[in-house]
Structure 1
Amino acid sequence: MTLTRETLVRGLKIALTLALAVLAALILWHLYNYYTYAPQTRDGKLRADAVPLAADVSGRVDSVAVHDGQIVEKGQLLFTIDKVRLRNALAQAEAAVATARATLRSAEREARRYAALEGVVSDQDRDTRRAAAEEAHARLSQAIADRDLARINLERAEVRSPVNGIVTNFQLRRGIYANEGQPVMTLVDSDSFYVSGYFEETKLGHIREGQHATIRLMGQDRVLEGHVVGVSAAISDSERSTATGTLLADVKPTFSWVRLAQRVPVRIAIDRVPKGVMLVAGRTATVTLDGADEQLHPKHIL
């Protein structure tokens, strides 16, 4: 059989097509392997602890020392509550202490005088004077406690930052009335930033504590570095609830042919942040753990 040029060209085209098809299938297989089993996820979030702040005492806000977006240090003054009434309360408490102390001295003198008159006055009178002295001592202790509380309230009129942080969504203004225990502002703890990576359950076997992590924030070229702190111990089971009145498990039947892998939160501590990278809680992150590239080889599929 004689090979013509047309036959040779046709054979080369078929061979090239088959080679490209095999190569494409191999690439698709490797990509499937990578995105299914490699310890990486594009579903990550930058997180931080939010610290809501409230005044310990109620009163009108007298001064505001910070503004929205300001970076503050632990112990830095944020705002103050009007101290006029608090100073007056402290003065009244100090006067009450002085009165209680004078009353105690008088009661103790009476108790000593009646104790020296044994045989002259009745035992009941001596007991009455001794009880009056003990009662005066208790009233003095109460007055001292009230004075200390008034002093604490005056000190707490100055609200200071409990953490190093960033003032966010700030709307506090001078003159408004702040109620005790009601948050009026929020700080983002700048020392608490971390990344939550939501990994498919098929990848958990390749994740271990202390594993190095590369973090890429959306819209940011420079990468952050971190390490795995731990894997969440539980996630919500959307297929199960408790039947009313029986407290028994009510499991919803599923008819889907495709079972999607559950996503499990993995906490990533941030070890290094490149200069100029802005950390904003809620930003989207891609997390790649050490060993992810090795999963491109099909031998890792079990």
Structure 2
Amino acid sequence: MAKYRKYILTGVIVFLALLLLILQFWRYLNNPWTRDGKVQADIIQVTPRVTGQVVELPIKNNQFIKAGELLFQIDPRIYEAALEEAKAEYEEALDTYRAQNKNVLAYEARIRESIANIDLAKSNIGALDAEVARTKAEYDRQRELLPQRATSVRALQAAQAEYESTIEYRAGAEASLVESMAALEQSQAELEQVRAQLGALGADNPGVRAAYALVEQARLNLEYTTVVAPVSGYVTNIDFRYGDQAVANQPALSVVDISTFRIDGFFRETFVRRIAPGDKAFMKLMAYPHLELEGYVESIGWGIARKDGTAGNDLLPMVNPTFDWIRLAQRIPVRIHLTEVPEAVKLRVGFTSSVLVMSNSAGTEQDEPVQSQ
């Protein structure tokens, strides 16, 4: 009996193994899969914005660093001096603006004074016109009375002198009016000239704005001497050493963003029609063959580059003829969003992965991006 029990147990084990093998084969037969998968992540190129000697380098290649931590420090002294110079030029621009503004105020005061003088001269002319009319009437009356011996020659002469004096006063008032009007025109012209030199008033003054912009630029350049990590991740490809000259707009190192780890699977085009965004996906890394990662399809590529397709005559693509009997299916990239990564797995960009997508499994809950431990 024990002998038969042994055979039965062996048969059950073999049956279960075959069943698992069949289920696994059915799984791969009915769901798209590929062995051409790669671990990917966003690689941030860190590029200095200013040029200068590296005076502090606290990091090393492949070191983990948090967002905002110091990557390297460029010598700030020349930029500190540039900031102080810009501040001095800004103060000078303010002083020039204030001086020109005082000139504007002075010319405006002169204009007000000229207007007041004009009003006074016009008022005096009005009063003198009445006085001229009165003295002329008196002078004419005295001339009419003299033949009648109703007045004296002395009274006539006095009336004549008063009349002529009043006319002279009026002429002087007119001259004063003309002079005040000329002074007004000159002050207005000079005011326009000073205003043109001054420009807009207050914060809109172009000279002040230009000087302030230089201060802000100098302040930014000084801030750019401190280069910090834009994201949390791993430092890689440090292309300089302490004391080297960092050059503006030339990449100095890269940071692998740990919040963007994903897997790009390249599926045969015959599989793509059975893949949809949101479908569950299971991955196995070559580095960790006994651990399974979970995720879902985030997106499917819409195009790949042609190997033969450069422009030829008439700007038409040149495609080499092929006489192969077997046509190879193209591979389309499918981005897999990772939702669960075992703690033992340390993701690295470039790892090889096998990917299995469960068709028609979309609609499940989608988690936030995972980070490599």
Common topology (TM > 0.5)? yes
Q: Secondary structure at the match of 2:38?
A: strand
Please state which structure has a larger fraction of its residues in helix.
2
More strand by share: 1
- Distance in 1 between the 2:311 and 2:193 partners? 67
Structure 2 Cα separation of the partners of residues 183 and 248 of structure 1: 37
Q: Equivalent residue of 1:206, what SS?
A: coil
Aligned with residue 195 of structure 2, among 114, 118, 130: 130
Matched with 1:50 is: 43
TM value normalised by structure 1: 0.81
Match of 2:82 in 1: 89
Unaligned 5+ runs, structure 2: 1-20, 115-182, 361-373
- Is the Cα–Cα contact under 8 Å of residues 45 and 284 in structure 1 kept in the other structure? yes
User: In the alignment, is the contact (CA less than 8 A) between 2:279 and 2:359 conserved in 1?
Assistant: no
Aligned pairs for 1:101-112 (under 5 A) are: 101-112=94-105
Greater CA deviation, 49-58 or 131-140? 131-140
CA 1:263–1:35 in structure 2 vs 1: closer, same or farther (change >3 Å)? farther
State whether residues 267 and 334 of structure 2, in contact with CA within 8 Å, keep that contact through their aligned partners in structure 1.
yes
| Runs of 4+ residues deviating >6 angstroms | 33-37
SS in 2 for 1:271: strand
Is this contact kept in 1: 2:47–2:253, CA < 8 A? yes
Q: Structure 1 residue aligned with 2:291, among 222, 231, 249?
A: 222
State whether residues 37 and 203 of structure 1, in contact with CA within 8 Å, keep that contact through their aligned partners in structure 2: no
Letter in 2 for 1:115: E
Residue number in structure 2 paired with 1:197: 265
- Secondary structure in 2 matching 1:269: strand
Return the alpha-carbon distance in structure 2 between the equivalents of residues 219 and 173 of structure 1: 32
State the match for 2:220 in structure 1: 152
Match of 2:348 among 268, 277, 280: 280
- Aligned match of 1:267: 335
3-state DSSP of counterpart to 1:105: helix
Do the aligned residues in 1 keep the contact of 2:233 with 2:257 (CA within 8 Å)?
yes
Q: How does 1:11-22 map to 2 (within 5 A)?
A: none
Deviations 1:266-290 (A, max 9, x none): 1111111100211110111000122
**Shift, 1:206, TM fit:** 1.8
In structure 1, runs of 5+ residues without a counterpart are: 1-26, 293-302
| 1:151-199 CA-partner distances (Å, limit 9, x unpaired) | 1111111101111110012243111111111111111111111111111
Distance 1:252 1:265, change over 3 A: same
Instruction: Give the Cα–Cα distance (whole angstroms) in 1 for the partners of residues 29 and 228 of structure 2.
Output: 48
In 2, the alpha carbon distance for the partners of 1:171 and 1:141 equals 39
Mean Cα deviation higher: 244-253 or 46-55: 244-253
TM value normalised by structure 2 = 0.66
